[in-house]
Amino acid sequence: MNFIEKIFDQLGKRQAAPVLQELRDGHKAAVTGSELLDLVNAARGFIRRHELKPGDRCALLAHNSIRWVAMDLAMMAEGLIVVPLYARQSPAELVAMMKDCSPATIWCGDAALRDAILEKWGEAPPQHLFDDVFVSSPAGSAEASARDGVGLALRHMADSDAVTIIYTSGTSGEAKGVVLNAGNVEHMLGCTSGRLDVLMGDKRGQDRVFHYLPFCFAGSWIMLLTCLMRGSLLTLNTDLTKLAGDMRSAAPDYFLNVPALLERMRKAVDTQLWQTGGVAQAIYTRAKASWIRGRDKQAQGGDRMWLWLAEAVVFPTIRKKMIGANLKALICGSAPLNVETQLYFVMLGIPVLQVYGLTETTGICTMDHPQRAEPGWVGPAIEGIEMRIGENDEIIVRGPNIFPGYWNRPQESAKVLRGGWFHTGDQGEANAEGNWRILGRVKNLIILGSGHNVAPEPIEGKLLQQLPGVQQVVLVGNGRGYLSAIVTGEATSEQVQAALDSVNRELPHYKQVRGFHIHAEPFSIENGLLTANGKLKRDLIAQRLQSEIEHLYEKTMSA
């Protein structure tokens, strides 16, 4: 069976059991395996009535929902190529992607999304709202419409058949459509499910999984399909302002995260305890200091007592209020996680398992082993793939998870697919245990006027740790005599200088940051300086802040 057949088979086995639920306005809307199949059948019938053909590309523009899942499964079952798009992205960017892949139709979650597209693209192909497809209740039981799809045979799916085109973030230019085929997805789902088997151990019954990341991102989509194939209960957050409460309500066994959320969770605990004060805050502060000393092999008398008290009184309360009582692990990907944050959760008794990969690798290259995770590293290569270091410490990969190429961009494909290896553009290293560490992006390397090459990400991460009110730190200095930093968010000049002094002490002279500019407005998706999944558009930042950077160097040189 291919992965779609396995998912449908699992849904059939879970006919009466809930498999998906949305948290919306404080209420849960759930569907069982049978009800989700009804939704899929309704969409399949609609697709056939509109004479869409296998191989047609179809855009899927909507926020996460049960209906999104049904639409995605229906299109793949009908042999269509799904082009999932990020609903928060600007209409102009969305239109550019759709013009690139020429979809046969556009499926929209609501009229507002459709109208925003039509305003920018009057000649857009036919659009259909979810309400047109699922003519029924909010969760979308769609019994009447489903009859059109009942009994439809699944289209034959070869490993080489394209199933989706996922557009990359475009940190330094125009987004490219990454084609993933059935063989890519089949291999990845086997790897992710196998690793989750290890995490869950002997636990019986459904995995309980919480989800808030947009399904249009490769890693998020792979998690969705993995949960469907495992018959898990997947709970969807639909309002990021209610994320903390929804996490506790879902009481998950595990869920996928990005580093920014874990950083916020850590800071929220510190802030709340500091404001509360009292005995709990005193125990927490002393236990943290004791734990750090123990990790650094500098334990003092009394440290064990404070850690025992914290584990007995404080840490269980933090775990329960933060995420609930069932959590086996947090899974983190999409960007490097600060090792101090990972160790913080370890101190609380919450394992953080890291995942590394790109859209071009079907979302994943490495995954931490639940029983052998090493803080600061992102785990070993997944089963069946090879990873090694190329020129400039670049990670190169080959295996069944590697995409066949970018949509309609043979030259771009040839640049990264060479000699049977995919060139990731990431710098990394592996240790004796086979675990990998990501050092930065090759294209982000800053080449100083002295000829020294500097990877900015590790230094930026250290500075962020020293500046709690700061949103981003971006190093600049290509062709210059030294490094400088752009700092966004709330910070005084004195605070930034103190952070630089602290970090610089541990760095060789050419890596020291000698100038800075405070930019009050954080970089964001809305102002065009972050990609859809939160990565810095470094080239555009340098271009947008060119006069500030020039002034910064003139001011520092004249000082």
Determine the pLDDT at residue 144.
42
**Which are the contacts of 364, defined by CB distance < 8 A and separation ≥ 6?**
188, 191, 192, 219, 222, 333, 355, 356, 357, 382, 401
**Which are the contacts of 301, defined by CB distance < 8 A and separation ≥ 6?**
none
What are the strands of the beta sheet with 483-489, ordered from one edge?
470-476, 483-489, 513-519
Determine the pLDDT at residue 137.
40
Most confident of 35-44, 326-335, 451-460, 522-531: 35-44
* β-pair type (127-129, 105-108): parallel
The pLDDT-based confidence of 149 (bands split at 50, 70, 90) is: very low
Query: d(Cα 217, Cα 68) in Å, to the nearest integer?
Result: 13
- Judge whether residue 129 has pLDDT over 50: yes
- Judge whether residue 136 has pLDDT over 90: no
Per residue in 219-263, pLDDT (tens digit) is 999 999 999 999 999 999 999 889 988 998 899 999 999 887 888
Determine the pLDDT at residue 392.
84
- Judge whether residue 138 has pLDDT over 70: no
Determine the pLDDT at residue 488.
94
- Judge whether residue 173 has pLDDT over 80: no
Which residue has better confidence, 452 or 161?
161
Average pLDDT value for residue range 163-186:
87
The pLDDT-based confidence of 63 (bands split at 50, 70, 90) is: very high
Q: Are 121 and 97 in contact (CB under 8 A)?
A: no
Q: Quick check: helix, strand or coil at residue 159?
A: coil
Classified by CATH at the fold level, domain 445-558 comes out as GMP Synthetase; Chain A, domain 3 (3.30.300)
Determine the pLDDT at residue 530.
85
DSSP state at residue 176: -
Q: How far is CA 53 from CA 48, 104, 105, in A?
A: 8, 9, 11
- Secondary structure element (H or E) that encloses residue 335, with its range: none
Helices and strands (H, E) in the chain, number of each type: 20, 25
Residue for token digits 């000649």? 123
Q: How far is CA 114 from CA 71, 103, 332, in A?
A: 16, 14, 33
Burial 529-551 (b: 16+ CB within 10 A, else e): bbbbbeebbbebbeebbeeebee
Residue for token digits 């972050």? 530
Determine the pLDDT at residue 72.
98
Lowest mean pLDDT among 13-17, 275-279, 511-515: 275-279
Residue 274 tokens read as 């500091």
Domain boundaries, the chain: 3-253, 260-325+327-442, 445-558
Q: How far is CA 55 from CA 86, 156, 178, 245, in A?
A: 22, 12, 15, 41
Determine the pLDDT at residue 171.
52
Residue 294 C-beta-side C-alpha neighbours within 13 Å = 15
Determine the pLDDT at residue 39.
96
Q: Are 184 and 550 in contact (CB under 8 A)?
A: no
Average pLDDT value for residue range 517-527:
89
**Which are the contacts of 440, defined by CB distance < 8 A and separation ≥ 6?**
426, 427, 455, 456, 457, 458
Average pLDDT value for residue range 445-464:
83
Determine the pLDDT at residue 145.
42
- Judge whether residue 189 has pLDDT over 60: yes
Determine the pLDDT at residue 439.
85
DSSP state at residue 399: S
Query: d(Cα 519, Cα 529) in Å, to the nearest integer?
Result: 13
- Judge whether residue 268 has pLDDT over 80: yes
- Judge whether residue 558 has pLDDT over 60: no
Instruction: Give how far the C-alpha of residue 81 lies from the chain's centroid of Cα atoms, to the nearest Å.
Output: 22
Average pLDDT, the chain: 89
Query: d(Cα 18, Cα 308) in Å, to the nearest integer?
Result: 40
Phi, psi (deg, nearest 5) at residue 536: -70, 135
Determine the pLDDT at residue 292.
85
- Judge whether residue 384 has pLDDT over 70: yes
Residue 206: how many other CB atoms lie within 10 Å: 17
Determine the pLDDT at residue 308.
92
Query: d(Cα 269, Cα 284) in Å, to the nearest integer?
Result: 10
Q: Are 347 and 427 in contact (CB under 8 A)?
A: no
Which residue has better confidence, 196 or 301?
196
- Judge whether residue 413 has pLDDT over 90: yes
Average pLDDT value for residue range 36-49:
95
Determine the pLDDT at residue 374.
92
Same fold, 3-253 and 260-325+327-442: yes
Per residue in 297-332, pLDDT (tens digit) is 888 888 889 999 989 988 888 888 888 778 999 999
**pTM (two decimals):** 0.84
Here the contacts of 417-422 (C-beta below 8 Å, separation 24 or greater) are 421/390, 421/396, 421/397, 422/360, 422/361, 422/396, 422/397, 422/398
- The CA-CA-CA angle for residues 52, 54, 58, to 5°, reads 60
The pLDDT-based confidence of 271 (bands split at 50, 70, 90) is: confident
CATH 3.20.20.70 fits 260-325+327-442, yes or no: no
- The one-letter code for the residue type at 263 is E
Top CATH class, 3-253: alpha beta
Burial 50-63 (b: 16+ CB within 10 A, else e): eebeeebbbbbbbb
